[in-house]
Chain A
Amino acid sequence: MDALPVVLTIITASTPLLLAATGELVTEKAGVLNLGVEGMMLVGAIAAFATAVSTGSGLLAILVGAFSGVAVAAIFAILTLTFLANQVATGLALTIFGVGLSALIGSSFVGISLEPLPQLNVEFLSTIPILGELLFGHDVLVYLSFIMILLAGYFLSKTRPGLILRAVGESHDSAHALGYSVLTVRYLAVLFGGFMSGLAGSYLSLVYTPLWAENMTAGRGWIALALVVFGTWRAGRIAFGAYLFGAITILQLHVQGWGINIASQFMTMLPYIATVVVLVLISQDRTKIKMNAPQSIGKAFRPAK
C-alpha cells in the first residue's frame, strides 16, 4: 500500500487539532482555563465558510474566521476576567453559545459546497517525488500551524514577555505585586486562544470538509483541550499529540479498506476513546501534572485594591 496519501491525510486531520491546542496552550499558561474551544471553533468555521461563499476569497475567509474566534473569546474574557465569573461554567456557556450561534448563521449555508483552499504550489519543488509532495503542496494553514506552535514554544520558554505570561499563570498575586498587569496579560492570552480556535474552525470548513454542517467540529475542540494536558503544557509534545490523534482519526477511514469488518460507529469512537485513554495514562502521574500545570489555572484574580 502506498503510504504517502495516508500521511497527507493525517496532516489534514491533525492541523485543526494543532491550531486549537496551540491557542489553548498559551491561554492556559496565562492561568486561564477556557473550555469554550469547541464553541469558538464552530463560530470560526461558519464565519470563514460564509465569507468564502459570499466573497470567494480564501484569505479573507481565514481572517474573518480567526477574528470571529477572537470576538467570542472576548465575551469569555470579559465574563471571567472583569466579572470574575467561574471559568468552567463560562467555558461551557461559550460552547453552548457557539453551537447555537453557528447553527443559526449556518442554517442558510447548509448544502453549499466550496472549492478547497488552493495549495501552495512551488513550481517544480512539489514535483519532486515523495519529499516534494510531503513538504510542499499544502495549503497555507498547514504551514501556519507549524509556525505557530514553534513560535508559541519559543515565546513561552525563551522570551521575556513569555516569561511574564508564565509568571501570571503560575502566581497571579506575585506577578501583580511585581507590577505586571495580570488582567492585560490574561486578556491577550484569551484573545490569542480565540484567534487560534477561529483558525482551526476555518480550516475545518474551508479545507477538511469544505461545506457547513451543524456541529461539524464533532468534539475536536474538546480533544484539543485534552491535548494540552496530554502534552503536559509543552509545545513539542502537544504537536506530537495532535499528529497522534490525527493519525487515529484517519485510521478509521482506512481500516475498512484493509478488509477489516467493523461497524463504522466503532471506528468513529476511536478518537474519543483514545482521548480518555491518554488522559488516564498521563494524569496517573500526579506529580508530573502538578509540576507542569500552571498553578493559578482556573482561579479568578482580583487585585487587592
Chain B
Amino acid sequence: MSQIFQFFPKFVLEPRLEVSGKWVILSPIIAIILTLFSGVIIFSLLGKDPFLALYTFFVQPLTTMFGITELLVKATPLVLIGVGLAIGFKANVWNIGAEGQFTMGAVFGGGTALLCQHTESILVLPLVLVLGTLGGLFWGAIPAFLKTRFNANEILTSLMLSYVAVLCLSYLVHGPWRDPAGFNFPESQIFSDYAMLPILIENSRLNLGTMFAILVVLVAWILMTRTIIGFQLRVVGLAPTAAQYAGFKQSGLIWLSFLISGGLAGLAGIAEVSGTIGQLLPSVSPGYGFTAIIVAFLGRLHPVGVLFAGLIMALSYIGGENAQIEIGLPAAVTGLFQGILLFFLLACDVLVRYRLSHRSVLASERRE
C-alpha cells in the first residue's frame, strides 16, 4: 500500500544547498512550452485545427499595431497588481483579494471623478488617482489589521472582502451613481476629460497608466534589491526563524505588504476606469486581481520578471478574445490556460529547490 503513491520509487528529491538560478529562469519557459502542448490537445478536443487555433490565440493579435497597444493596455493592470503581490508573496503574506482592492480603487477614484464632473481643473486627475490608490490601500489595510490585531487568516478575509467590494460597486452603479440619462443601464456618467488619463497613441486605448506600470516596476526593483525593507521582506520569506531572531517585526511586514499591494491594485483599478474604460460599470475587471497571482509567480516574484509575465498573461486575454471572434472558441479557454500554466509552473519549480537523484547514486555517495 505504501508504495502506491510513490510514482518514481527509483528517484528521490534532494534539497539543493541553494536555490538554482538556472531553474528559476528555465522553469517558467518549460511551463509555457508544456501549456502550449496542452493547448494543442485541448483545441483538438474542441474540434478545431490546433495550429490555426494557436496562431489565432498567440500570434495574430500581435500582427497589428492596435493589437500591440491592446496588449499593453491589458498588461498594465496585471503588472501593477503583480508587482505588489510579488512583494507580499516573497514575505509569505498572502493577499489574494487584489480583485477587491482593484475594484475599490475604481470606486474611490471613480467616485471622485463623478464628484468633480463639472470642475474644470488640471488638479482633478491627480486627485482622482490619489483617491483611487487610497481606496485600494484602505481595502488592503482591513485584512492586514484583522491579521495583525486578531490573527484572522488573511487569505480568507482578503478574498471575502473582494466579494464585498464587487457588490459595493454593483450597488453604486445600479443605484446612487447611475447615469440619469443612461436609459436605465447600470452605468455611471462618462468621466469629464479632466478626470481621464491622457491617451498616448492616437486611435488606441493606450494611456498614461502604462507608464505608471513601468515606473512602479523600476521603483519596486530598487526597493527589493537596494533597501533594508526589501532585504527584510526577502529574509522573512526565506527564513522566518532567522528573521525573528534578527528582530524583524512580522506584523510590520504584513502591514507593509498589504499596503503596497493594496495601493498598487487600487492604482491599477483607477487607471483602468479613468484611462481605459472612462466610466464605472458593474464589472470593471475580467479577473485581473486573480490573474495577477499567476503573473507574480510566473515573474518569479521579481519586479522585472512580473513585467514580462504580465505581457504573457495579457496575451492570453486578447488571444482568447481574438479566438472567440475568429474561430468561435469559448471565452473560458483563457481561464483554463491560465490555470494549466500555473500548475506546470509549480511542478517545474520543484527543481528550483530540489534536484532529482537516482537512489543507487545517492546510496553510493553515502558509502564514500
Which residues of chain A have a CB within 8 Å of any CB of chain B?
35, 39, 75, 78-79, 81-86, 88-90, 92-94, 96-101, 103-104, 106-107, 181, 183-184, 187, 214, 218-219, 222, 225-226, 229, 263, 265-266, 268-269, 272-273, 275-276, 279-280, 283-284, 286, 289, 302, 305
**Given contacts A229-B156, A272-B163, are A96 and B1 in contact (CB under 8 A)?**
no
Decide if B285 is an interface residue (CB 8 Å cutoff). Answer: no
Q: Which listed residue (A92, A106, A276, A286) contacts B161, Cβ 8 A?
A: A276
Say how far A269's CB is from chain B's closest CB, in angstroms: 5
Enumerate chain A residues within 8 angstroms of B354, measured Cβ to Cβ. 84
**Is the pair A181, B1 in contact by a Cβ cutoff of 8 Å?**
yes
**Given contacts A266-B171, A272-B160, are A93 and B339 in contact (CB under 8 A)?**
yes
Q: Which listed residue (A184, A225, A226, A273) contacts B4, Cβ 8 A?
A: A184
**Given contacts A92-B96, A100-B334, A100-B339, are A83 and B146 in contact (CB under 8 A)?**
no
In the complex, the 5 A-B pairs of residues with the closest C-beta atoms, listed nearest first: A97-B339, A100-B335, A103-B332, A100-B336, A181-B2
Enumerate chain A residues within 8 angstroms of B293, measured Cβ to Cβ. 92, 96
- Docked Cα-Cα span, A188 to B357, in Å, equals 26
**Is the pair A265, B171 in contact by a Cβ cutoff of 8 Å?**
yes
**Given contacts A265-B168, A273-B160, are A302 and B347 in contact (CB under 8 A)?**
no
What band does the interface of chain B fall in when counting residues whose beta carbon is under 8 Å from A? 35 or more
- Docked Cα-Cα span, A82 to B337, in Å, equals 23
- Docked Cα-Cα span, A219 to B333, in Å, equals 21
6 more CB-based (< 8 A) A-B contacts, given A104-B333, A276-B160:
A96-B291, A100-B335, A100-B337, A107-B330, A184-B5, A276-B152
A-B contact pairs, 13 of them (CB 8 A): A79-B347, A81-B5, A82-B7, A85-B346, A89-B297, A96-B335, A97-B342, A98-B339, A103-B330, A104-B332, A184-B5, A263-B171, A265-B174
- Docked Cα-Cα span, A104 to B297, in Å, equals 24
Decide if B170 is an interface residue (CB 8 Å cutoff). Answer: yes
Enumerate chain A residues within 8 angstroms of B25, measured Cβ to Cβ. none
Decide if B204 is an interface residue (CB 8 Å cutoff). Answer: no
1/0 per residue B163-182: CB within 8 Å of A?
A: 11001101100110000000
Enumerate chain B residues within 8 angstroms of A268, measured Cβ to Cβ. 167
- Docked Cα-Cα span, A225 to B175, in Å, equals 33
Provide the main secondary structure of the chain B interface: helix
Enumerate chain B residues within 8 angstroms of A96, measured Cβ to Cβ. 290-291, 293-294, 335, 338-339, 342
Decide if B343 is an interface residue (CB 8 Å cutoff). Answer: yes
- Docked Cα-Cα span, A35 to B293, in Å, equals 14
**Given contacts A79-B343, A103-B335, A280-B150, are A184 and B2 in contact (CB under 8 A)?**
yes
- Docked Cα-Cα span, A90 to B339, in Å, equals 10
Of listed A75, A81, A272, residue having the most chain B CB within 10 A: A272
**Is the pair B297, A100 in contact by a Cβ cutoff of 8 Å?**
no
Decide if B126 is an interface residue (CB 8 Å cutoff). Answer: no
Q: Which residue of B lies closest to A93 (CB)?
A: B342
